[in-house]
Amino acid sequence: MKNLTFDFLKVTEQAAIASYPWVGSGDKLKADGAATNAMRDTLNQINFNGRIVIGEGELDDAPMLYIGEQVGTGFGTKVDIAVDPIEGTTSTVNGQDNAFTVIAAAPRGALLHAPDMYMEKLVVGAKAKDKVDINASLTENVHTVAKANGKNINDVKVLIQKRERHNKWIEEIRNIGAKVHLFDEGDITYAVATCIKDQEIDLFYGIGGAPEGVVAAVAVKCLNGDMQARLLPRSRKEYDRCVEMGLEYPEIALRLSDLVKSEECVFTATGITENILLDGIKTDAESNYTTHSLILNGESKQLRYVKCKHPNPHVA
């Protein structure tokens, strides 16, 4: 897996660059199509035996990077891939912050095959690892994290996406004296940031997409943090879909080891527009692009930031 890290970096860089001309365009289909094409083309140049386990959707809904699609040359290491050609498509085409492209990978069979449904997610950094419990109340977990991080409850910082479904938890956290910081888009970014010391985030909590949860879990594993989750099927069809994908009891608590079963995992992300972890793509007078990327490795627990200058592919 280590040997594939910089190949995957090229994948996210090329997808980000391909999407950049559509920043502010208002055209989500063309932005996503450009990123998806670039990601798929670059993956297929890598000498490995890749399989998409989280992608753009099922075969009937997604012509490329669909769940089950084989990518790479077909030779070498067998790898399961979770991709999001653009995390934050709306942000991209509206020229707003929090858009990036991401790929997470692990050995074959190591990633949870998460259906496209809601998932409850709880993420903490290394100091609170193995101390929280998604089955406990949010109040209990916030107090636990405060103790683990050596903070007074009034200094605890909890990140939650600004959604109506989260209002009761926002009120609960504020009522015990902890601080709530809301964000609009990009829950992968904020889940990852919880595990990076410089960000000074104590806990991430909320309900969001299950595929994004698995992508975030790879980064959390690489950063030696902790994540717990629970799938939230809203219909019999969604429940049965979980069972079909091998999740016999869909609503049980999932530990990080259930989401990502191997330390041999990698995570790469490249900024399209600004977010709290990454700079957006920059251009210069010579029409070159500069990308800013994050690379994480589960075996070494290393975090790398990479800046790279690329010739503008749209200039002859």
Tell me, what's the pLDDT at 113?
Answer: 85
Cβ–Cβ < 8 Å for 306, 122: no
Determine if residue 69 is labeled as part of a ligand binding site: no
Determine if residue 264 is labeled as part of a ligand binding site: no
Strand partners, 310: 289
Q: How far is Cα 15 from Cα 35, in angstroms, rounded to an integer?
A: 4
Q: How far is Cα 273 from Cα 202, in angstroms, rounded to an integer?
A: 25
> pTM of the full predicted structure?
0.94
**pLDDT tier at 1, thresholds 50, 70, 90:** confident
Is pLDDT of 166 > 60?
Answer: yes
The H or E element spanning position 80 is: strand 78-87
- For the chain, give the mean pLDDT: 93
End-to-end Cα spacing for the chain: 36
CATH number of 118-258: 3.40.190.90
What's domain 2-109+265-310's superfamily in CATH? Fructose-1,6-Bisphosphatase, subunit A, domain 1 (3.30.540.10)
Mean pLDDT of 290-298: 96
Determine if residue 27 is labeled as part of a ligand binding site: no
Cβ–Cβ < 8 Å for 3, 266: no
CA–chain centroid gap for 209, Å, is 10
Q: How far is Cα 63 from Cα 56, in angstroms, rounded to an integer?
A: 9
Residues 52-108 have pLDDT tens digits of 999 887 655 667 888 899 999 999 999 999 999 999 999 999 999 999 999 999 999
Strand partners, 289: 283, 310
Q: Which of 259, 273, 266 is nearest to 48 (CA)?
A: 266
Is pLDDT of 120 > 60?
Answer: yes
Task: Parse the chain into domains and list their residue ranges.
Answer: 2-109+265-310, 118-258
- Within 10 Å of residue 168's Cβ, how many Cβ atoms? 10
Tell me, what's the pLDDT at 67?
Answer: 87
Q: How far is Cα 296 from Cα 221, in angstroms, rounded to an integer?
A: 9
Tell me, what's the pLDDT at 313?
Answer: 62
Tell me, what's the pLDDT at 63?
Answer: 75
The pLDDT > 90 percentage for the chain reads 79
Residues 168-221 have pLDDT tens digits of 999 999 999 999 999 988 889 999 999 998 899 999 999 999 999 999 999 999
Q: Which of 149, 146, 150, 120 is nearest to 135 (CA)?
A: 120
The token duo for 94 is: 């509206």
CA–chain centroid gap for 218, Å, is 8
> Do the strands 157-161 and 179-183 form a parallel or antiparallel pair, or are they unpaired?
parallel
**pLDDT tier at 316, thresholds 50, 70, 90:** low
